[in-house]
Structure formats: structure tokens, C-alpha cells
Amino acid sequence: MDLLPLLLSVEFVRAAIRVTTPLIGAALGEVVAERSGFVSIGIEGLLLLGAFSGVVGSWWTHCVWGGVAFALVIGAIAGLLLTWISIFMGVNQVVAGAALNLAAAGTTTFLNREIFGDNPPTVPGFETLPVPLLHEIPILGPIFFEQIPLVYLIYLLGPLAGIILFRTHWGLRLRAVGERPRAAESAGVRVKQYRMSALVLCGMLASLGGTYYSLGTIRFFTENMTSGNGFIALAIVIVARWNPYWIIPVSLLFGAAGALALRAQTFHLGIPFEFLFMLPYLLTMLIYAGVVGPARPPAALGHEYAD
């Protein structure tokens, strides 16, 4: 099968939308955090915690939405922990995020073996939910309106995050904290509290995205199943120029590369499969190198205070 027919097929586009889903959740969380002036390098760890806690919650409650709720709670707790370590205890943001990634990898591996053993059970997961009437639209219907509920939810969060950041008082103050924290503090804005709320929301959004890996696909947890996609989310935020409205289209670009790597293995394209798996990460480096110069981050990003 040639490459062009594969790229234009309905199944490929559907796969790209699915692969993009966790990237959107992680990138939206990172946008919120970085808009407050905090670099959340631990986004990979948050994705992994979401994937694991989603399975635990679904197994415990026998309900997929119970798994999602538990993942949101764990994500919020992780955000609070990151706040305490970095903002209130003064640990460097990058160091704290890296520590979160390592802790999440080790903790999820250990707990998964302790709770489920060598043969993890299959837990309740998401089923495809066609949207009435809309899924009958030729071509577009099967692509966009025959997905699992988690896909619909996360794609709706993209424009919602944009509205919150750019159309609400909370969003205005959060952006002020990320640009001029001293000026915001002199105006009565509680800088640390706003950054704490941003990190809690970041943890919840990233954990929600992480549940896709476990509850939206294989319905059990495997070690390091997020495969470094949290770092791709970091690049997506920069390419999208810290604008939530651009997160979805930019994520789709990376998601398409991931879907191509997965689906092209079944066809004889004359390309080593190892190279196909490199595509998302290679694309990350190429685009990151091309836009990191002109893209201007929030002025206080990575600093406690900046004028």
C-alpha cells in the first residue's frame, strides 16, 4: 500500500485523532502552568500517574468514570505536592519536575506489581460512543463522531481553556502572574495561590489525558506506557505559542506522526519500523528547533519573580 492512500484513509485520520487525545490533555495542563510562570517538566510523570490511577479507580469502583475521577484526584494531589516542593519550599522548578517524573515511574511500577501482580486484570474501559445523527455524515461522521467519550471531552477542553485564560478575571490574573508577578502582587493578586491553582489544574488535565492510555485502549496498566509523550507535550506548548486555541491543531500534527508510526507497520513501505517509531520525536526536535527562537514565553517563566 502506498503512503498517500494511507494518509487519506478514514481509519488513519481516526487513529490520529485518538493518538492526539492524551497530548492535548497534557499540553493544556502545561499551558496553564506555564502561563502562571511555572515550568512543569513533570508533565510526563503526571501522564503516567493518570494512566495508573485511572486503572486503579476503574478496578476499585467497577466503573470507567470512577477511574477518571480517581485520576483527577491523584492529579490534583500531585499538583499540590509540586506546589509545596517548588513554590513554598523553594526547590528549583526543573529539578522538582524531574523528580516527579522519576518518582511517578518508580511508584507506578512498584504499586502495579504489588496490586495486580504479573497478570494485571482487564478493567472497565471506554466504549465507542457514536454521536446521534452526526455519526451518519459521510466520511466526517466516522472520523469525528464515532469516538470514545474521553476523546469528545478532551477536545472540548481546548476551546474551554482558551475562554478561561482569555475571557475571565481568573485567567487575566493568572497571565499577569506569569508576566509580571511583582506588579500583580502589588495590585493585590496572591501570586503563590494562583500558581498553586494553575499546578492543580495542570495535574488534573494531564492525568485526564493519561487515562486515555489505559482506559481508552488496552484497559490495563503497563510500565512506562506513556512512552515519553509528556516531553512532546512540552514542545507542543511552545509550537502553539502558549495559546490554548492552537493546542489542538498543533497536537494533531504530532498525533498524525504517531498514528503513521503505528499503522504503517502493517504495510510494506520499505521503511524500517524503528525509523517509524522515531517520527514523533524527530518531528518534535525539528519543529522545536524551528520555532523556539521567535516564540516568546511568559516573561516570568521559570522564575519566582521577574519584572
What are phi and psi for residue 300, nearest 5 degrees?
A: -95, 15
At residue 130, the 3 state secondary structure works out as: strand
Sorted by where each starts, the structural domains of the chain and their CATH numbers stand as 3-291 (1.10.3470)
Give the per-residue pLDDT at 237.
Answer: 93
Do residues 80 and 200 lie in contact, with contact meaning Cβ atoms separated by under 8 Å?
A: yes
Residue-by-residue DSSP string for 20-57: HHHHHHHHHHHHHHHHTT---TTHHHHHHHHHHHHHHH
CA 142, distance to chain mean position in Å, is 24
Give the per-residue pLDDT at 14.
Answer: 87
Give the per-residue pLDDT at 2.
Answer: 61
- Mind listing the pLDDT tens digit for each residue in 136-183? 898 889 888 999 999 999 999 999 999 999 999 999 999 999 999 999
E strands in 41-175: 129-130, 146-147
pTM: 0.91
At residue 302, the 3 state secondary structure works out as: coil
Q: What is the C-alpha to C-alpha distance for residues 75 and 127, in angstroms, rounded to an integer? A: 23
- Mind listing the pLDDT tens digit for each residue in 52-86? 999 999 999 999 999 999 999 999 999 999 999 99
Give the per-residue pLDDT at 307.
Answer: 44
Task: Point out the residues of the chain with pLDDT beneath 70.
Answer: 1-8, 263-274, 276, 288, 290-295, 304-307
